[in-house]
Amino acid sequence: MYIGDLHIHSRYSRATSKDCTPEHLDLWARKKGIHIVGTGDFTHPAWREELAEKLEPAEDGLYVLKDEYRIKDEVIPGEMIPRFVITGEISSIYKKNGKVRKVHSLILLPGLEDAERISAKLEQIGNIHSDGRPILGLDCHDLLEIILELCPQAVYVPAHIWTPHFSLFGAFSGFDTVEECFEDLTPYIHAVETGLSSDPPMNWRVSALDRYQLISNSDAHSPAKLGREANLFDIPLSYEGLSRAIQTGEGLYGTIEFFPEEGKYHMDGHRKCNLCLTPSDTLKYNGICPVCGRKITIGVSHRVEELSDRAEGYVRENAKPFESLVPLPEVIGASSGHSAASVKVQREYQKMLIRLGPEFDILRTLPLEDIRRVSGTRVAEGIGRLRRGQVERIPGFDGEYGVIRLFSAEELDNTEGQMSFFELIGTQESGKGRTERAGQRSTADRKNTARRRDTADQQNTTEQRDTAEQRQTEIPAEQEEAREKQQDQRQSLSPRLNPEQENAVRCTLPHIAVKAGPGTGKTKTLVSRLRYLLEYRKVRPAEITAVTFTNQAAAEMRERIEKETGKKQAGRAMQIGTFHAICLNFLKEQGEEFTLMGEAQQRLLAEEVIAHTGINAKAGKFLEQVSRRKSGVEDALTGELSGDSVIDDPAWQQAFQTYEERKEELHLLDFDDLLLRTAQRIEDGQVHDGWEKKFRYLLVDEFQDINHAQLALVKLWSRVGRELFVIGDPDQSIYGFRGADSACFERLGKEYGDLEVISLKENYRSAPQILRAASAVIQAAGTGKAPAVIQAAGSGEASAAIQAAGSGEVEKREMLHPNCPDGVPVRIVRAGSPMGEAIFIAKEINRMTGGMGMLEAHQTAWEHPEQKVRSFDEIAVLCRTHHQAELVEKCLRTESIPYVIAGREDYLNEESVQNSLSFFRLIEQTEESGKPAEAFQEGSENTRQGEAMDVSGSISDISGMELCAKYFWKLEWSEMTAEVLWNTLAKYRPFYKKKKPQKFLEQWMEEMELTDDSAMQKLLQASVFYKTMPEFMYALELGVESDLKRCGSKKYTSDAVTVMTLHGSKGLEFPAVFIYGVEKGSIPLENEKHPSDKEEERRLFYVGMTRAKEELILTTSGEESEFTGAIPADVSVHENEEKKKKEQEWRQMSLFDL
């Protein structure tokens, strides 16, 4: 008899242990007594490579770990060598029959060659690199068809078929029948996986499953979790024997089960509301939580009840036997009064394995008397009760694991040292409290009443179970060390915070401003502040708003909070986003109905206004002035304007007014309106009760870059809050052209007299040479006026700094203190021309990375034996303008260097791109309205009634079909035009959310004859970074400079050089940085029509320099920038690339030399 666990994951899957390696899987299979283990994750290239290296063929279609990789462990008894079979899980998310489906599938293959072939096919469909369990927008029917076509011997099993969110029969995204999912390929499904929250008797109740074999697996995310569920096989040891057992039942003896009540989705309920319900309770409440009024999470029991056609207790004819078990450490813990992860329990566990054999033998077959002699009466009694099914079951619900008790509360009180499974996972109570709670939580009570759990109890249980799961993979000494470390950290929020950072994190004053220079740990300080609020001050996540400058920063902050706190709920409950995103959500929550205009829609409206008012301007210029007028006002609420020449022109004033009136008439908002409308509603009191709760603790990142309208919002939000925490660096204020106020810290000090100013001065990013060079540049700020920033030395100096700024005095900036090892000098390289600069950069990157080919690699190793070889993603090229970036891109492409372009490039303004985006936006709008047919009919009716649009009327449905007809198809609006558009919409809507953006755009470009359009090609290259078209469109509409990226080809590689503007580099860091075009006219940028702010240009250059960690290379081909003159000679070196080229007797060959 063999035990097999076929569904597991590698370390390449999300939320898995780093120990999920072939070595540790082999080790734990031997500990458990598991004979056949699935490899998991066969689609991941790195995992397949590792499997090919470490496994060797055994019996037909099975593998064993090579002896040199096997971990020798005296704990492991016997000579059993586990077999591996190639397996993987694929997540399919797609729309079918009008509903989004999310189904997981387990696939078994006869060999690594088949895995390679199938993965190559799947890679053409979606991203299989980022997760061991890839997510594909692929119908399960089509996935099965591909698998069988490429490998007829494959076994396809719908995974954990009852899990609510990701399974065949899932309550939220599954099907009601197997046939609905797999259609004509249903006969090729022979088995289903029951999952942790169901056991065979629950599945027997559904007669439609009678023809399928029921198998069980652990779905383990760490080696210690192997065997939570498993299969019993009586087969020849081969893939063919295994396949036959799963698909026909021949040789499938039975299964080892989790107690289904212990599964975290067994019953219905609401974890947040501490509510557990039976299916009948849920029906009584009409599926709505009686506590919060939201939809109840339907559990497996409820879903089985819905689909069953047999009564509870039915036994299938010729049913396979099954056993319900719990892991041995939990039995030991329950019998000894210690946590399963404790040192004592782990020692006892190891002793039992050494003296008694594998875990499954101990739990299933070993005589109890033998167990008693080794581990005592209580452990033996616990195992005996487990075998007899003499346990108390407290079901799990809505993601919270259930509890299985081996001993009653009375026994626990009367038997010193014993404890329940509930205590095992962390509840700390007195004996009396324990007894009372045990009575309250009995199974009978759960079946008859809706009960609310004690919140602290529930949090303790969940958190400590998670901790126990993680620690089970550690050796006892590591467990003790981790526990001591955790105790130490209770005394300090983080030992990695320096005193200034700690002060900023722990300060409890109502108004705090932190001036954080580059590399001083701004993000770490901000995240630590959030953790401090959550974990130490116990602030509710829903009361916290964190404002970021970019969408990417918001996503990263949320991810860090979830990772560092270990609570995804905390990250999700907090409001984290840009000003525009937060305001957009706010207006929607307030019930305001509007359409947010895209760039094409704004252009159309601008052209109408220009035609109507006769002003001399193009649409782009007009819209730029509109935005400046809104973001550059002195008072965002009163509309008092700052000095801009065009706004004094009566014609322009009329144009502004007409633009606003037309938007109001058509219920349209532009992006600036999001902020102003939010401020106006708050100022006028037009808000729903309770809106202010989200802003009780307000944190603002990159504060130096906010404009007047955003500062007004900060004041309004903080007015109803308890604490305001802003962080940024005035020396990095670089968005004055967008209305940013470089004196915002000083303005905040005037607003709040009690403002506490804290300065971070320890730089942990850049080598001393880089830091000294950059500091010298920013210190050389002109003395004709007060600089944009006055960096206070510490808290309590805000008033003096503000007075100095107001009086025009220049206060010397404090130098940042380097904490990195000594590095190399800053290189200032002169080339013969702008193209020469770009060529130098491409060749230098070639050299830095060790050479792109064999000859280059050999030459680099010969000439620079001490050089550190860099990966491409360690290198960035920064440019002042997008035009410069295009030149760099051309040279990188020629040298075959992979690269990514970041920023809002000019191609986004091209007509083909704008028109395409308008059509995609129309798809979204008709999806949101849910009534595209009615809209079409209404448009046709208007046409028949003689309301065909003229120039003015073209705005009457600015977000609708008329816009696309006018700008994309160049058609006048008519009934026939409407029909053409509707047919196109009907064609593309069904797979707009289903297809990956890259595939969607490829089809669109081919059918619209845009495949040769260079702008559309760049849009296609940008699409590879996004999973869905709505996500891509959101980034295009609300993303700022650094939020948008495109790769240099149709295929994206994470190991690529980053090319971006200086503005786009804000907030990033790279080991090696090139700054292109550091010369007069470029840095600082000179423009006759629009003179630049020299000091802002200085700050921009400072931002670029401080992105570098180890190497900084400045290139020039004209007269050197005046800013480089401030760089000290002892930290820089000048090179003449043009002279070097002439003097070289031989040089590296590249495509540029041909």
Summarize pLDDT for 385-399 with one digit per residue, the tens. Answer: 999 999 988 898 988
What strands, in cross-sheet order, belong to the sheet with 511-516?
A: 575-577, 544-547, 697-700, 723-728, 511-516, 756-760
Tokens of 424: 């095992």
Least Cα distance to 157 among 304, 6, 363, 10 occurs for: 6
Instruction: Find the mean pLDDT for residues 1105-1127.
Output: 94
Q: Is 523 within any annotated ligand binding site?
A: yes
Confidence of residue 95 (pLDDT cuts 50, 70, 90): confident
Instruction: Find the mean pLDDT for residues 442-468.
Output: 36
**Backbone torsions φ then ψ of 152, nearest 5 degrees:** -60, -20
pLDDT value, residue 3: 98
Confidence of residue 934 (pLDDT cuts 50, 70, 90): very low
Q: What string of DSSP letters covers 152-214?
A: TT-EEEE-STT-SSSSTT-TTT--SSHHHHHGGGGGG--EEE--TT--HHHHHT-GGGTTSEE
Summarize pLDDT for 3-57 with one digit per residue, the tens. Answer: 999 999 999 998 899 999 999 999 999 999 999 999 999 999 999 999 999 999 9
Q: Is 31 within any annotated ligand binding site?
A: no
Which residues have a Cβ under 8 Å from the Cβ of 315 and sit 6 or more positions away? 201, 204
Distances (CA, A) of 1141 to 887, 1114, 1146, 1148, 1153: 20, 18, 9, 10, 12
Q: Where are the domains of the chain?
A: 2-307, 326-471, 492-592+701-820, 826-904+1053-1153, 906-1038
Q: Is 517 within any annotated ligand binding site?
A: yes
Confidence of residue 429 (pLDDT cuts 50, 70, 90): very low
The structure tokens 């320096």 sit at 498
State which CATH number among 3.40.50.720, 3.40.50.150, 3.20.20.140, 3.30.460.30 fits the domain covering 2-307. 3.20.20.140
pLDDT value, residue 936: 41
User: ∠19-22-25 over CA atoms, to 5°?
Assistant: 65
Please, are residues 133 and 13 in contact by the beta-carbon 8 Å criterion? yes
Please, are residues 218 and 228 in contact by the beta-carbon 8 Å criterion? yes
CA distance 1123 to 976: 62
H helices of 720-755, in order, are 744-751
Summarize pLDDT for 882-928 with one digit per residue, the tens. Answer: 888 888 988 887 776 778 887 776 777 777 887 788 788 778 776 65
Give the 3-state secondary structure of residue 550: coil
CA distance 846 to 534: 47
Residue 155 pLDDT > 90? yes
Q: Is 521 within any annotated ligand binding site?
A: yes
Summarize pLDDT for 711-740 with one digit per residue, the tens. Answer: 999 999 999 999 999 999 999 998 887 778
End-to-end, the C-alpha distance of the chain in Å comes to: 69
Which residues have a Cβ under 8 Å from the Cβ of 954 and sit 6 or more positions away? 604, 608, 962, 963, 966, 973
The CATH number that domain 492-592+701-820 falls under is 3.40.50.300
The structure tokens 């570098």 sit at 1108
Residues pairing with 830 in the sheet: 1116, 1136
Instruction: Find the mean pLDDT for residues 952-963.
Output: 44
Please, are residues 907 and 1014 in contact by the beta-carbon 8 Å criterion? yes
CA distance 3 to 443: 32
CA distance 549 to 320: 59
Please, are residues 220 and 258 in contact by the beta-carbon 8 Å criterion? no
CA distance 1071 to 1068: 11
Q: Tell me whether strands 213-215 and 191-193 are parallel, antiparallel or unpaired.
A: parallel
CATH class of the domain whose range is 826-904+1053-1153: alpha beta
Instruction: Judge whether 492-592+701-820 and 826-904+1053-1153 match in fold.
Output: yes
Return the half-sphere exposure (C-beta side, CA atoms, 13 A cut-off) of residue 1044.
23
Length of the chain: 1154
Q: Is 984 within any annotated ligand binding site?
A: no
Instruction: Find the mean pLDDT for residues 463-473.
Output: 38
Which of the residue ranges 28-32, 418-422, 961-965 would you say has the lowest mean pLDDT? Answer: 418-422
Instruction: Find the mean pLDDT for residues 861-869.
Output: 55
The answer, as to whether pTM is greater than 0.75, is no
Instruction: Find the mean pLDDT for residues 250-270.
Output: 91
pLDDT value, residue 963: 55
Return the half-sphere exposure (C-beta side, CA atoms, 13 A cut-off) of residue 629.
19
pLDDT value, residue 660: 92
With a pLDDT cut of 70, the percent of the chain lying above it is 78
Q: Tell me whether strands 1057-1061 and 252-257 are parallel, antiparallel or unpaired.
A: unpaired
Helix (H) or strand (E) holding 404, with range, is strand 403-405
Residue 1147 pLDDT > 70? no
Please, are residues 1074 and 1057 in contact by the beta-carbon 8 Å criterion? no
Give the 3-state secondary structure of residue 55: strand
Q: Is 853 within any annotated ligand binding site?
A: no
